Amino acid sequence: MALPSGELANSSAFQVFEDVLASIYAGEIAPGDPVSENDIAQKYGVSRTPAREAIQRLRELGLVEASAGRTSRVVLVSEQTIRHALVVWEALMMVAVDETVGLIDAADLELMHASIEEFREAARRGDADSAAQANYDLFAVLVTRSTNPILVRSIARTVHMIRLGGLSMPRWVDANLLGEAQVALVDALRARDLDAAKAAVHAAADFRLVTDEDHVDP
């Protein structure tokens, strides 16, 4: 499950945007790499117009920035920027929890539980990318219950920034602590306990980063 990344009226532009975004998260286009209209248009067999629209959407999400000349490049995100983004993410998620704690149903909880299992398994085998995706999927279940499109877009932008930053640093989160926060959130939502849900969101945003050598499997 993915958070909405915005509207693109041109279907070709939307597909190019989705493909380029996937390439960034797969590491095929790394932070700092150039992203040009010509290269994208040629790669995906489209005109420069949808390529331009896709790049513009990536800029709006903060994932691509202008560099020398008319070239764009994937943003390099520092650890400090990630920590700032997590502060914003936490504040936005508190609003989302306020709105959706009474809307989450059994099907939503089942999806979130499945994401927790995927996170545990990915962390156990040392697959950071899959673990990150499972964590994003878990919170996306809650966020997509919101009826506030501005809130959803704001969270999506922040999540993309955090995720991009994670590609720039060979660092792990503490999978045990984050996993505990995930379970606490699902339990709180099942009980319709707003305070406990907010405490779980805070714990998820407050995880510590550990080095690869210090990483401990859950």
- In angstroms, the CA 103 to CA 97 distance is 10
Between the alpha carbon of residue 126 and those of residues 123, 199, 212, 216, the distances in Å are: 5, 27, 10, 10
CA atoms within 13 A on the CB side of 108: 19
Q: What is the pLDDT of residue 146?
A: 96
Token code pair at residue 20: 């380029």
Q: What is the pLDDT of residue 212?
A: 43
pLDDT attached to residue 102: 95
Task: Give the domain ranges of the chain.
Answer: 11-74, 79-210
What is the model's pLDDT at position 171?
A: 57
Q: Which residues does the chain have with pLDDT short of 70?
A: 1-10, 68-70, 168-172, 207-218
CATH of domain 11-74: 1.10.10.10
- The fold adopted by the segment(s) 79-210 is Four Helix Bundle (Hemerythrin (Met), subunit A) (1.20.120)
What's the pLDDT score for residue 121? 95
- The predicted pLDDT at position 209 comes to 56
Contact 143, 96 (CB under 8 A): yes
